[in-house]
Chains A and B, each alone.
Chain A
């Protein structure tokens, strides 16, 4: 093996190990930087002044400026309760108890090319003020690419994969201190085309 080939292999292997090890931590696939509850994932140190470099890198690469959990907690889910990827070829239901926060928002976000996503309605969110609840304060959301009765949240009509983002504004102190105690809505898959 010539020295040139040896050095080329050395550089490629070294850089690949360094890059991919960082990538997997930054994306939250390995390490203890996120908290998972069912399908939902939360970056525990998002927006904290003492956040670790990987958490900072995660949001920096998304070009986001997160606020601390005292102000805002952002949970995201890209799989249903059974672990299947969320796709707009299916319908989903989310049943939730009242969320212990001053305000909240649940939004549908396409996982790729958000600009190309087409929805049958302009509304892609529900929030604490406009969701219809039952007498106990619980609510059910129905996610589908075509209109449904009740709290219908439209999905992209092009069969795209999507993620759900649940943002809690000024969550209760207990939830901020121990997010694992929060009961998040289960994402149940219904029929698929």
Chain B
């Protein structure tokens, strides 16, 4: 009887360990690999429009087909990154992902409120000790804080039909994503 209880408990513990590895550890590796692939697919600190649909499907899986995408992998360990984007007049959104795959920021065109988006991504705590969001508008732009020095910006625009894809891609191509000329203070 004692032996049966021992083996039963041992199996439960081993099953729990295997369950955790399968549901937490392996997926985390997969997620980090997904972002690493996305970050390595294009040039650092530069916006790249994913015109080639095959490449788009390789680096950004499960995304709507009727969207145009641009990505900018960034490294802000030395300088913040400045983003400036004209909005195309249809649905548009910007998202920022950390290397862990965590989506730290998303904003769409209606939330921007104007026809132009400007932001500075810099290192710092995304929230104050009181839990207040430190993202704020400064001089017409938004300051976004992240604790991670690297990450990737994903910008997407809705494409009504195949004919308007060219316009959406051109709008994304006029987005700027580059090291900021001067370092703004965290304010």
Contact = CB atoms under 8 A, between A and B. Distances in A.
Interface in A80-138: 102-103, 105, 107, 122-125, 127, 129-130
Interface string A149-178: 000000000000000000101100000000
A17 B18 CA distance: 8
A71 B34 contact: no
B18 A61 contact: no
Contacts of B31: 56, 59-60
User: For the complex, would chain A's binding face be called helix, strand, loop or mixed by DSSP majority?
Assistant: mixed
Given A53-B23, A61-B30, A71-B108, A18 B65 contact: no
Interface in B93-112: 93, 95, 97, 101-103, 106, 108, 110
A57 B162 CA distance: 34
B106 A67 contact: yes
A125 to B, nearest CB: 5
Chain B facing A: main interface SS: helix
Interface residues of A, number: 47
Given A18-B21, A54-B23, A170 B110 contact: yes
Given A68-B106, A105-B66, A14 B160 contact: no
A14 B18 contact: yes
A25 interface: yes
B14 A18 contact: yes
Interface in B103-138: 103, 106, 108, 110
B26 to A, nearest CB: 8
Contacts of A26: 22-23, 27
Contact of B34 (A18, A23, A63, A103): A63
A11 B13 CA distance: 11
Contacts of A5: none
A59 B24 CA distance: 12
A13 B22 contact: no
A192 interface: no
Interface string A55-82: 0110111111111101110100000000
18 contacts: A10-B14, A14-B14, A18-B14, A25-B23, A26-B23, A53-B27, A54-B23, A57-B23, A62-B62, A63-B62, A65-B35, A65-B38, A67-B103, A71-B106, A103-B91, A105-B67, A107-B65, A170-B108
Interface of B: 7, 10-24, 26-28, 30-31, 33-35, 38, 60-67, 90-91, 93, 95, 97, 101-103, 106, 108, 110, 154, 158, 160-162
